[in-house]
A and B are shown apart, each in its own frame.
Chain A
């Protein structure tokens, strides 16, 4: 599979992995609880060895948070501590917030600290004891992915219920982040005081503002010698004002060191004071927003949700408005951060439910939960539809796996695909590109570059390397500042792309090379085909900008275009998955590049193999793969055949991974060639 999906760079997959891991460890821990601690600890310590290195610190922190799970069984004192968080508070005393930050700006450290300070996880001495005695639980700690945590905090003698809703670590999941943010009223914007504002910081601010969140700025890591809180706060203000963002007033920024515990109480107080309470809509029909979910092999789908309106009780017959499925909520509870059962949750609260949901498609993230008996009129708005960034075809019986994937990651799009050569499979990421016979998607919404943005020096090398073919200095300059623009506008030369430029005077010009674009003054907007997004564009953008660049796009619709179908024939057999639709003017270039690439990727066979690109019956590019003349003819000295056999087995395995096209064995990589072409031709 790893081979088959090499075109996917989506961290989605990573997040899925962790989910799977979670599931597997969950199941392990289920067993573990039924066994004696001593018999288990050895097997778990083995497992622990795999978790060395950088993650270790995290694990310990999160492990600490699991103590809550033991509260119910460990001691009576603990039960009281745990249950105090279950106590209801008035809606006006609920605060739902999330923490948004650039990677490594200290989000998880801050989250852990908040949990500690509010007593949601054990105090230091308890933690030591816990670490000493409970290897097993520590292992379980790994399983707890902090999705949400309910904290109890007393401010001016008023008990508050603070719900921290975690956002996915990677901001490229703008969809996932937006779902989490939509369940909140406020957000802590954590900025590393030494590193300052980063691309993802801004992206997060946009998202938070889109969701009307109250933003509390936290300058973290002020204990570090390199911290420059003044410069950073100035930077935030500058950027903020230049973007005309309202509410990013750094005069109230909280200086904090999550590691040292500096400023934590200030943060908690600010949450209570600044973040508005949820509206009291407990009497309305139930509407709850699913912001995350995962598949538990024992309990079915576990749904994490925020109650927006109404009340949900244990045993309620609930209805998922998008999927149209209904279930009985067997178990509801809060996340603190482990799952603690409660009987009801009302508007403003955050919790989880388990309803023996078997089919992963029934409770999709982003769906609205309502009462079966008293349905809400309208499902909840505001979830941003995910826009696929990378694409590839997966050929294998993967429907179940993809559906599970989709449960945890609604940004994933896939469609079944059948190909004579590859069998059944799925094209992932494509939003209907399959039926692009003659019509092709056009990308639109091209914001012309914002000339008022300050140019950052660190953006220049990225632009220079990304767009080596653009000769127009004016265009170059205008692109230089895109790095800071979230809604960026990148013009690149993809081999198959012809741009459509709408001019101020109403003319429409087609342009196959960005250097031939009309003067910026004449341009009203530029539209480019969606097909450019296919492949590794996003991957390239990310790697060449060292992760700084972010990207968004939207569709403007379908446009008729002068397109041809480019077929690939290998040894005279047409290979459907390699066929591509290109603009007529680009067909030769693409054909040549593709045949050359395939020649590199297809291993030589026992006979000569012609590789041709054709339009209809006309061959426009041709390469030939020479035959293998000789294998490695090792002797089996002293009768030792084991090494030779191993090599032959490996060779046989390699063949299995390939797809037979007629008599030719074609590796999976070759099928990715179309998608990877951009990289080669740029």
Chain B
């Protein structure tokens, strides 16, 4: 029964799919990653290479935020979760899942990035986090200089917990501030107030941790441009190495989904919402942050390496309730309900399900869509040469032609090999000579902020070219 539910997402496929290996990739030169990472953020389109990243889902929260539709487990408002059996049992379960997952390749390279997401992973006692890392080390190996990120919420940790986490190897924190206004935090149903936000920033900064991200949400109900400006300024003042700016999405089934309609009061209008986005881009760029992905900003060299794995369409493991993995070209999401997830782990141990299959066929069109949608989210954009090598030069040329009017309107930017942007006239003249496109135009990217703002429109046009 279960087996049926977990069949590969990609079922069919041409065997001779050509996978180009790029000379530059994040993993190729580990020592100099930080220096080179910006240049190296180009699209690797080899999802079949062995995974070196793992996402671990820790679903516990004190309560559900009003906008949240992730698979979480609300624990309630007590203060100590040290011995909560729900957490202990879950961690045991996730360790079983990790153990039951066989390394995908014989070379079995050690993991280079771990990402503890949630939920609120900072609610999980550090010793339990440590046990997960231990199991990962045993099963796959973890590089000594691996990026180990954890999401933390204000009000869920103190200096001590912070120190413990750092001691067990965590070297990157993603702090869920979301807003710097007490009334907005309350309206979002956050389990913390503004005071805890400032405390948390203080704890993180004083811990000596260098690489941390401050996460904000824009377009919240009742949020004004002034509030957003204030949030951005305070975020800059906290001087994290990374800022994530997520645009609020009103999901069906959430409290916000029941209460609000996008574009209607108290949510900002589409125009206001676009203003928020532009303001973030402007303010953070001015403060020295690079807008390297639609919703991510970082100081030079501080990209989230784990997330870069996603944008490069590379393989990654996923463990825990509702988490997604991408192994051997196959995307797979675990059950979102705890009971089903337990059954899944049991089946995995019993060999009844596989979360990946060897030599499965990957649909070329789907792969091309993945590459386009992921790479166009980044500031580097789509590397045309490698895309052409994998999917054919004619696709590159029709893609460019589709984007021609958008280059003219400034939503799409072609870049030459030196990453210098080409203007519409130059681009048009290059398009007349199909053979030359990939040599002259190295990348196609969406402009910041106009192109990023209309990314769905632009990417879906590209989809129309890939699968006419």
Contact = CB atoms under 8 A, between A and B. Distances in A.
A639 B309 contact: yes
A648 B460 contact: yes
Nearest to B247: A633
Interface in B127-182: none
A562 B192 CA distance: 73
A168 B313 CA distance: 58
Interface string A162-197: 000000000000000000000000000000000000
Interface stretch (B231-239, B318-326, B431-439): B318-326
Interface in A607-646: 607, 628-642, 644-645
Interface stretch (B86-94, B271-279, B340-348): B271-279
Interface in A642-676: 642, 644-645, 647-649, 651-652, 655-656, 663
Given A630-B454, A631-B453, A652 B463 contact: yes
Given A634-B249, A644-B373, A649-B369, A639 B316 contact: yes
Contact of B460 (A628, A640, A642, A652): A652
Contacts of B323: 638, 640
Contacts of B247: 630, 632-634
A641 B370 contact: yes
B464 A656 contact: yes
B403 to A, nearest CB: 12
Contact of B333 (A607, A642, A663): A642
B57 A648 contact: no
B265 to A, nearest CB: 17
A634 B246 CA distance: 8
A638 B117 contact: yes
A630 B459 CA distance: 13
A647 B457 contact: no
B42 to A, nearest CB: 18
A511 to B, nearest CB: 45
A608 to B, nearest CB: 11
B373 A645 contact: yes
A606 interface: yes
B457 A637 contact: no
Given A648-B373, A651-B460, A631 B455 contact: yes
B324 A633 contact: no
Contacts of B377: 636
A655 B463 CA distance: 10
A33 B433 CA distance: 60
Contacts of B55: 638-639
A638 B374 contact: no
B457 A631 contact: yes
B324 A640 contact: yes
Interface string A400-438: 000000000000000000000000000000000000000
Contact of B453 (A630, A637, A655): A630
A606 B324 CA distance: 33
B413 to A, nearest CB: 15
Interface string B267-294: 0001101100100000000000000001
Contacts of B453: 629-631, 633
Interface residues of B, number: 48
Contacts of A656: 464, 468
A641 B373 contact: yes
A649 B365 CA distance: 12
A651 B411 CA distance: 18
Contact of B57 (A629, A638, A644, A647): A638
B253 interface: no
B326 A630 contact: no
B406 interface: yes
B456 A641 contact: no
Nearest to B406: A606
B9 interface: yes
Contacts of B456: 631-633, 647-648, 651
A330 B464 CA distance: 50
Contacts of A637: 70, 117
B461 A655 contact: yes
B249 A628 contact: no
Contacts of B459: 648
Interface string B339-379: 00000000000000000000000000000011001100100
Given A639-B55, A640-B324, A606 B457 contact: yes
A606 B454 contact: yes
With most chain B CB atoms within 10 A of its CB, the pick from A638, A645, A647 is: A638
B277 A630 contact: yes
Nearest to B374: A641
A652 B455 CA distance: 12
Contacts of B309: 639
Contacts of A652: 460-461, 463-464, 467
Nearest to A649: B463
B20 interface: no
Contacts of B333: 640, 642
Contacts of A630: 247, 270, 273-274, 277, 453-454
A545 B461 CA distance: 45
Contact of B464 (A629, A636, A639, A655): A655
Contacts of B310: 636, 639, 641
B409 interface: yes
With most chain A CB atoms within 10 A of its CB, the pick from B55, B249, B310 is: B310
A110 to B, nearest CB: 48
A638 to B, nearest CB: 5
B331 A642 contact: yes
Contact of A648 (B70, B273, B463): B463
B395 to A, nearest CB: 15
Contact of A642 (B57, B294, B295, B324): B324
B87 to A, nearest CB: 19
Interface in A277-299: none
B405 interface: yes
Interface string A428-468: 00000000000000000000000000000000000000000
B464 A642 contact: no
Nearest to A648: B460
Nearest to B320: A638
A635 B333 CA distance: 16
A24 to B, nearest CB: 26
A645 B310 CA distance: 13
B447 to A, nearest CB: 12
B302 interface: no
B452 interface: yes
A667 B89 CA distance: 53
A268 B9 CA distance: 63
B324 A628 contact: no
A633 B460 CA distance: 13
A638 B119 CA distance: 11
A637 B59 CA distance: 13
B270 A628 contact: yes
B409 A607 contact: yes
B119 to A, nearest CB: 10
Contacts of A636: 310, 374, 377
Contacts of A647: 456
A641 B461 contact: no
A606 B454 CA distance: 8
A666 to B, nearest CB: 15
Nearest to B269: A629
Nearest to A605: B457
Interface in A341-398: none
29 contacts: A628-B454, A630-B270, A630-B274, A630-B277, A632-B456, A633-B247, A633-B455, A636-B374, A636-B377, A637-B117, A638-B323, A638-B324, A639-B55, A639-B309, A639-B310, A639-B318, A640-B324, A640-B333, A641-B374, A642-B9, A642-B324, A642-B331, A648-B369, A648-B456, A648-B459, A652-B460, A652-B463, A655-B460, A663-B405
Interface of A: 606-607, 628-642, 644-645, 647-649, 651-652, 655-656, 663
| Nearest 3 CB-CB pairings of A with B | A652-B463, A631-B456, A640-B324
Given A606-B411, A651-B457, 4 more contacts: A640-B323, A642-B331, A648-B460, A652-B460
